[in-house]
Structures are given as C-alpha cells and as structure tokens.
Amino acid sequence: MNLHAFASAAEASAALAQAVATDLAAAIAARGQAVLAVSGGRSPVPFLQALAAQDIPWQQVTVTLVDERVVAPDHADSNAGLVREHLLQGRAAVAAFLPLVNDGADAAAELAAAAVLWRTPDVTVLGMGEDGHTASLFPAASNLTEGLAAANPAALLVVVPPAAPAAPHTRISMTLAELQRSGKLYLAIAGETKRRVLDNAAAAVSDTLPISHLLSATARPLDVYWSA
Ligand SMILES: O=C1O[C@H](COP(=O)(O)O)[C@@H](O)[C@H](O)[C@H]1O
C-alpha cells in the first residue's frame, strides 16, 4: 500500500479530493466519461464535500456506491442519502447518480436491478470499519467466501452482516473481485484504532480482516489516506 498520512481529516479530505478529481478528469479525457464509486458510513462527509467543490466536468461523471444498506432512500442509514446531501451539490449536482437500492423492500430484487445498471468504476474510494470490513465485506458474514472470491464474475452481492445491531441492515456490496477490476483504488480512514487495524491487516491476509485481501495485491497498490 501507499500510505499518505495527515494531521487532520480536513487535510486528508482535501488531498484525496484533489487526487480523485485528477483521476476522474483523466478518465474523461481518455473516454469522455468517468464512473466513481464512494463509500458511506460516518467518515466520508468532509471528503465528499471537498470533492463536490472540485472543478471537473461533472456532467460526464456517474457516481455510484461501493455498498448500500437495503433501506428506503430517505432512511437515516442510507448511503445514497449521504451522497445526495454531501456530494451531489454545487458543481457536482449535475453528475449522474446510480444508487444500489430503490425502495429497500427486497434485497434480491434490488441486487438484480442494480446489477443490470452497474458499470465498473474508474475510481473507487473505500472506507473501513474497526472490524476490518471494507465495502460491506464483513468478517464472519455467511457468504464472505463468495464476496472475497478472486474469480467471482459478479460485481455485487447481498450481505447480511453477522454483528447486528452493531452493523444493522442487509447490504448490497461490491465484491472483492470487482474492486480488483475497478480502476484507481483509495482507502480513506481516520484515527489510531483504524490505523492499528490497517497495520494488522497489512501484516497478514486473513478473512477475519477482509481489508487485508486488498492490501496484499502488489500489482496495483491501494492508496491509503489516513488522518490522526
Ligand atoms: O457500514 C459501513 O462502514 C464502513 C466504515 O464506516 P465508518 O462509519 O466507520 O466510516 C463504510 O466504509 C461502508 O461504506 C459502510 O457501509
């Protein structure tokens, strides 16, 4: 991995937003369009806001999600709600948005619909939980093996996190194989606890820390933006 360390979340977010904007602009220059996948959870708000202010041709960008909770779009835990509130604003308001969940009624139906519209991202920004999950690839999820399978042709899968209520809601998540197929890969994390988890994951590949499977890839190292 390439570790970029910052003193504050604001500095890390500004630097990451600039790097992602450069990648999106390069994809647009090469192909006329770009696909960006971002994460949800609590951490990404300053990054999403910094990215929304970047001066790139947003009308040629499609934004989607690395993972989503299978809930109604107006639910407080909806990652799409977070993206609509903090990224699809200002300059970025003209970007297209491809949510993974429509009404949140049925996970299998949502997965089938999302898979039809899915496009492999040019740029993916991951987060990580303190349990080492990334996207919604949770340790001890019943279908984690499928989620982590290197040759899985599926881009997305349904995950039921084992640790509810700590991680409530059935999810739809990118598979590890699709993360590996996507273009530039970033991981944005903050704090000493997540740094320790990251260091442990970098030391050994293990299904108990799913993020470790991405850190082991040497062909295309993960760019980690960490702030204290
Ligand atoms: O559940 C989730 O958790 C991770 C980490 O979230 P955070 O709140 O600790 O920042 C996130 O990357 C993922 O997209 C989300 O669905």
Domain spans of the chain? 2-227
User: Given this model, what pLDDT does residue 214 score?
Assistant: 95
What global pTM score does this model have?
0.97
User: Given this model, what pLDDT does residue 98 score?
Assistant: 98
Which among 198, 183, 209 is positioned nearest to 1, based on CA atoms? 198
- Nearest-angstrom CA–CA distance, 149 and 151: 6
Instruction: Please provide the average confidence, as pLDDT, over all residues in the chain.
Output: 96
* Protein fold of 2-227: Rossmann fold (3.40.50)
Residue 42 pLDDT greater than 90, yes or no: no
CA of 123: how far to CAs of 147, 165, 170, 201, in Å?
Answer: 20, 31, 25, 22
pLDDT for 149-199, tens place per residue?
A: 999 999 999 999 887 677 889 999 999 999 999 999 999 999 999 999 999
Which among 167, 171, 64 is positioned nearest to 108, based on CA atoms? 171
Residue 84 Cα to ligand 1 middle (Å): 16
ipTM above threshold 0.90: yes
Residue 42 Cα to ligand 1 middle (Å): 6
Cβ atoms of residues 111 and 172 within 8 Å:
yes
Atom 10, ligand 1: residue with shortest CA distance = 43
User: Given this model, what pLDDT does residue 79 score?
Assistant: 97
- For residue 22, the surrounding DSSP H or E stretch is helix 9-31
CB of 41 closer than 6 A to ligand 1? yes
User: Given this model, what pLDDT does residue 221 score?
Assistant: 86
pLDDT for 78-134, tens place per residue?
A: 999 999 999 999 999 999 999 999 999 999 999 999 999 999 999 999 999 999 999
Q: What residue type is 118 in one-letter code? A: W
